[in-house]
Amino acid sequence: MKIKVDFVSNSSSTSFVYIAEDMLTRDDFFQAVGVNTDSPTAPLFDQMFQQLKYNIERGDRLKSIEDIDALEGDREFTPEVLARMRAALGEGKKVTTGRLSSEDGLAEGVLCTEIFEITSERFFINAYDNYW
């Protein structure tokens, strides 16, 4: 886990990229984050899943290398993540960018206050850039 130690404000937003062949499922999300559905923390993770899915569905689908190239030099995605996005397009996967906001509830707020990356065989989520 990484802890943010720079500028802090009253609200937070986080940019993320979602790469996969299909839409995120609850089972895939729980398996990737290592949370048992019977866990006492499962309700919070279920809310996180719902928020991620909601924001993925409303995100911007990148359909070309030019779309990804337009993000180059922006703070939101590292060169490694941009390379992964380009490779995913070449493999026929869907690449979607979106934003999360701390003003939309506890679960989304938790996601906004952490830099996180979730990698599984079925999907990849990177939320490197956030502002508190």
57-63, long-range: CB within 8 Å, 24+ apart, which pairs? 57/23, 58/98, 59/18, 59/96, 59/97, 59/98, 59/99, 60/96, 60/97, 60/98, 61/94, 61/95, 61/96, 62/89, 62/95, 62/96, 62/97, 63/89
Residue 112 confidence (pLDDT): 78
Residue 60 confidence (pLDDT): 96
Answer yes or no: pTM beyond 0.75. yes
Instruction: Indicate the domain borders of the chain.
Output: 25-131
Q: Report the 10 Å Cβ neighbour count for 61.
A: 12
Residue 130 confidence (pLDDT): 46
Residue 111 confidence (pLDDT): 83
Which uninterrupted H or E stretch holds 42? Answer: helix 42-57
Task: Report the chain (132 residues): mean pLDDT per 10 consecutive residues.
Answer: 52 86 97 95 95 95 96 84 96 94 79 86 85 45
Residue 64 confidence (pLDDT): 97
Residue 113 confidence (pLDDT): 75
Residue 11 confidence (pLDDT): 61
